[in-house]
Amino acid sequence: MDATMNGTGSPSAGGALEPLSSARAVGRTADAIFVALLWGCGIFVLILLGLIIAMLFEGGLPAFRNFGLDFLWTATWNPVTENFGALVMIYGTLFSAIIAVVIALPLSFGIAFFLSEIAPESLRRPIGVAIQLLAAVPSIIYGMWGFFIIAPLMAAYVQPPLIDLLGPLPVIGLLFQGPALGGGMLTAGLIMAIMILPFVTAMFVETLESVPPMLKESAYGVGATTYEVYKNVSVPYGKTAMVGAIMLGLGRALGETMAVTFVIGNATRLSASLFAPGATIASTIANEFPEAAQGSLKLDSLLALGFILFVISFIVLALSRFLVRSNLKS
């Protein structure tokens, strides 16, 4: 008699379990392969990040050896004499990014609260789609728009009255002095603010919509106004995510290249004025990398600038994680 049949001619228990055991073996093998692929994806990210850091550090090492730490504090960038310093670019990167966040933050708060609390349904979707479309516009388009539209408007209608009104004031007047050229730090910050606006606003909207309706209804029930609900309920509830959104916007602004290159003026000199031309790390690399000969000190200095930008971005990320954890604990 067949080993898989019992005395009555019916399939035995052992024969019935054989397909099940085979299926389980195939499932265990597939699961092991799947887990291995996931590990490979995670390790690939670490390897890729490590290779980028190593490339930038190794490429910039000759510049650090030649100039030492003075490379960070030197404001000179002279390819003719091969005297390079990163101070102007570091200053321009941080200054323009902070301007962008200062401009974008109140706009993002206002748009997010309008969409989540005030806007009727007929407006909420079109405005939301329009904000998403802003995120899809290439940075070079923002740069061209800034160069041909925003910069002339700034030179004609914004910078002259600010120079006349605020330029003569002590201390704060330093921010509003100089000729009205149209471009400069303020214009670059304004363009970057429009670029990071969709990202920050989208996260703010998601955060505000996650506030439990019962909390807001309770506040309205005790007589709170719309502003009081926003200030005392919605913002405190989502402050952790909002801090993360702000730092994300700052990190996005730090690395912007093409849009800034069009409007910042690309002048390697320090100035406290919002209207003065300047340079960022990304714009300097974009402008001067094609002219840097292989093995030259200029190329080494540009790679060193790239490594410094990476370090600044890492510090911003670490700071954002620290702030988020601090808010979670509080």
Separation between Cα atoms, residue 130 and residue 316, nearest integer Å: 29
How much is the mean pLDDT over the chain?
89
Percent of the chain with pLDDT over 70: 93
Where does the pLDDT of residue 1 fall: very low under 50, low under 70, confident under 90, or very high at 90 and above?
Answer: very low
pLDDT digits 0-9 by tens, 179-219: 999 999 999 999 999 999 999 999 999 888 888 989 888 99
Phi, psi of 278, deg, nearest 5: -150, -160
On the CB side of 301, CA atoms within 13 Å amount to: 27
Q: What is the mean pLDDT of residues 86-109?
A: 95
Where does the pLDDT of residue 23 fall: very low under 50, low under 70, confident under 90, or very high at 90 and above?
Answer: confident
* pLDDT of 45 higher than 60: yes
Residue corresponding to tokens 């996005």:
252
- Residue 124, Ramachandran bin (φ over 0: left; ψ between -120 and 50: alpha; else beta): alpha
Q: What is the mean pLDDT of residues 162-167?
A: 94
pLDDT reported for residue 195: 94
pLDDT reported for residue 148: 96
More confident residue, 117 or 11: 117
Q: What is the mean pLDDT of residues 152-168?
A: 95
pLDDT reported for residue 15: 56
Position 113: which residue type? Answer: F
Tokens of 111: 């748009």
pLDDT digits 0-9 by tens, 229-270: 888 898 888 888 888 889 889 988 998 989 999 999 999 889
Which residues, 6 or more positions from 231, have their beta carbon under 8 angstroms from its beta carbon?
none
* pLDDT of 177 higher than 80: yes
Separation between Cα atoms, residue 302 and residue 138, nearest integer Å: 24
Q: Please, what is the angle between helix 281-288 and helix 87-113, to 10°? A: 120
Residue corresponding to tokens 């989540």:
116
Q: What is the mean pLDDT of residues 166-170?
A: 92
